[in-house]
Structure 1
């Protein structure tokens, strides 16, 4: 079994920020086919009944729980196609895919849109991520999944804040699925490395440890023991963006966590190495579409006294 360091899991989960994540409940009659959108991340929780995939979900790590002993069992090579009540799976939408109901079935489905299109999360996950027995492994998140879904406004009027609360619920369920998969032996060796290159991994770790440092390409190349030109090319090929763009991404992710903790814009700006609050706000807005203050207000986060 491959074990993943808890700090590495926390680093990945802490960087996830959803722009859209509102779930919906769907009831399917036996034999009904439900196409899953391509080009989008989709989270599915089976509430009742069961489903199997077209094409089959295929080989992949299977997490299961013995319902009598509650003992977790991991089979890294098992084939798992039929999913039943209490199971969850995540698809990145890389290929056309559909679910077929096995008997009368109820599903919670959330289409996930990451707030940052350049997020590394899709590159860190397999095309399909399955957690069987999710309700036993992550009971609190499963309880949220049971109660997610758009309310029929003809029956019960929408309340203020519903979209924000639904997004937070979807975020919690998504992170719990990823945690169950990663923490229980299904992540590949070296996960969550973006590059599978120990020299580049050393650079990425340094950026995450000190996001506010003055990270020039020359300084990063020195940490990776490479020339400037070699480093820049290898970094872009492995990570999919320039070193400067990646540093900005890490800083903005750190800024969001600081905003959530109630830190002031001026404090965050100084800690993350920006010469002025205005420069920090411009960088934040380019990445998120909102100023730090607007982002805080949109997420209903109070400022610490």
Structure 2
């Protein structure tokens, strides 16, 4: 349970500002250089790439196996993915040539501290088939200039990045490699209470009481530990639950009521601010057939 809560906390606080996805072709014997600063997701369309990160800086997850620490060079084939969080530089080399989709993004470092700098995802297309189908089409089409197209593209990139993180943190084998965060257990009480009941009208006073702290001390310590205010954390947890409910087929009204919003309009405004699109569009996008 602790690992699940840790994952939810990290995903809720994750901030991603995606750049423009683009295709990349590696000739035999050439490399893709990834520096420090921005995070980068690399999806292998065809061919192969190999990375050789320093010991203790990466992990790997296979489509039907547990995640664990990676050691030595790792080779990825078509349908695999690689995620660099921009903390260390790395070179991805192809011996026979490769076609790639490269997705740059600015990822908040505070949110990804528990993660290793590099994640190798074997069988990404099997773990997250819908996301793999989406990322394989990014950077290959011609922009039409239609209103909202940029927002939709950004949401696809965010979905792909989160899918890569979930693939490592909650692999299909049932054992999570996500480490328990070194967070004050009193603060954790408040975070776990919010995750267990996101629809409750939480106040700072209530959360501070759960943590056995004064309002002022609790607010300051919570922001340092989780990278955002208690109110911001509650909002993020609600939005994550909202996305899950909408993707599972719940209506906008059902989701709004379950998460404690006074009206569908208020919920829709909050969701649009968070996701960049109305909840009805998010629900429709989740229900649409995957690209092939």
Query: Fold match, TM over 0.5?
Result: yes
Per-residue deviation at 1:250? 1.2
Instruction: Say if 1:12 and 1:121, in contact at 8 Å, map to a contact too.
Output: yes
Say whether residues 1:236 and 2:229 are aligned partners. Answer: no
- The residue aligned with 2:101 is 109
Deviations 1:234-261 (A, max 9, x none): 0011111110111111112222222333
Q: 1:232 to 1:173 in 2, by over 3 A?
A: closer
CA distance in 2: counterparts of 1:113 and 1:204, whole angstroms: 27
- The residue aligned with 1:130 is 120
How many correspondences in the alignment?
280
Per-residue deviation at 1:94? 3.2
**Among candidates 163, 166, 182, match of residue 175 of structure 1:** 163
Instruction: Say if 2:18 and 2:154, in contact at 8 Å, map to a contact too.
Output: no
**Among candidates 85, 93, 98, match of residue 92 of structure 1:** 85
Indicate the larger mover: 239-248 or 44-53. 44-53
Per-residue deviation at 1:143? 10
Q: 1:181 to 1:21 in 2, by over 3 A?
A: farther
Per-residue deviation at 1:226? 1.3
RMSD, aligned CA: 4.6
CA distance in 2: counterparts of 1:90 and 1:212, whole angstroms: 33
- The residue aligned with 1:59 is 56
TM-score, normalising length from structure 2?
A: 0.70
> 1:9-28 maps to which residues of 2 (within 5 A)?
26-28=24-26
**Among candidates 218, 224, 235, match of residue 248 of structure 1:** 235
**Among candidates 71, 94, 99, match of residue 79 of structure 1:** 71
CA distance in 1: counterparts of 2:11 and 2:188, whole angstroms: 18
CA distance in 2: counterparts of 1:217 and 1:6, whole angstroms: 24
CA distance in 2: counterparts of 1:294 and 1:231, whole angstroms: 37
CA distance in 1: counterparts of 2:250 and 2:61, whole angstroms: 41
- The residue aligned with 2:210 is 223
Highest CA radius of gyration, 1 or 2? Answer: 1
TM-score, normalising length from structure 1?
A: 0.68
Per-residue deviation at 1:38? 4.8
Say whether residues 1:43 and 2:41 are aligned partners. Answer: yes
Instruction: Say if 2:246 and 2:283, in contact at 8 Å, map to a contact too.
Output: yes
CA distance in 1: counterparts of 2:130 and 2:256, whole angstroms: 38
Say whether residues 1:292 and 2:279 are aligned partners. Answer: yes
The DSSP-based 3-state class of the residue aligned with 2:56 is: coil
CA distance in 2: counterparts of 1:234 and 1:259, whole angstroms: 33
Unaligned runs of at least 5 residues, structure 2: none
Instruction: Say if 2:61 and 2:167, in contact at 8 Å, map to a contact too.
Output: no
Say whether residues 1:33 and 2:20 are aligned partners. Answer: no
CA distance in 1: counterparts of 2:221 and 2:9, whole angstroms: 23
Unaligned runs of at least 5 residues, structure 1: none
Q: 1:197 to 1:112 in 2, by over 3 A?
A: farther
